[in-house]
Amino acid sequence: MSSAVSRRNSCRGSQCGSRSSSSECRRRGSNCSYLAPGAPSEELSVSLNQPIVTITLRFLLAIDLRLSKRLGVCAFEGSSWGGIRPLVRLVEFSGHAVPWLIGTLYALLCGDTAAEQEIMLNLALALLLDLLLVRLVKTVVRRRRPSQNRTDIFSTFFIERYSFPSGHATRAAMCARFLLAQLVETNSMRVLVLGWAGLVSMSRLLLARHYVTDVGFGLVMGYCQYHLVERLWVTRDCLQDLLLMRLQERLNKVYGRLWLATWTR
């Protein structure tokens, strides 16, 4: 009788042991496969099968994400540097396209000389070119903004949802090169323009609007855009010729329509 009872207890114990081991494997999931001899890790096999370019890009992306998260010290009021958030947002607004376009058009209309009007005209065209190129790249890449980015009233109306590249950085670099080449002559003003471009670019990182790679690529892109602006420089005489040609074409169309109307009658 005792031998039968002991057999039953041993059977129950073995069944309980197998059930507990199976339940433990279910809880641990893929960790149980590591315990099996000769079974390689899935993550290790995937990492070994990846090309070196992919591994390098993922490593750089991880550094970009980590560094961008550390720099977002003014993302919201409760951040470590949240007290200076209004000042950083003011610097951010100074690099927006709206005040630059309004100021450029006002200077174009109120320019005293033809040379000043020519410079302001090309600056306005450069700003429009910057908006077009940045929108094109953002539409192609479609990179989302950092998770720290806070959506407020200002960002709702003036900030796009895509992140790469930073439009403020491209505009700051392009406008800085334009001003240094066309308007700025003293060294103190050069330092002021370069400092403004750096602060505008840094504000995008402090407010967690962009990643570090967004701002870096934006600075390079804006720096290169000025070469395109120089090649496409529009002089005042060229603009007058184009306007006269367009006006002459429209007058010819209107004259042709009137002539057809009178001929049919």
Report, as residue numbers or ranges, the catalytic residues.
Answer: 168, 210
- The token pair at 178 is 């334009």
- ∠ CA 176-180-186 to the nearest 5 degrees? 125
C-alpha gyration radius of the chain: 32
CB within 8 A of 85, min separation 6: which ones? 74, 76, 77, 79, 207
DSSP 163: -
Residue 84: CB atoms within 10 A of its CB come to 13
Q: What CA–CA distances, in Å, run from 179 to 102, 236, 261?
A: 17, 19, 53
CB 211 within 8 A of CB 164: yes
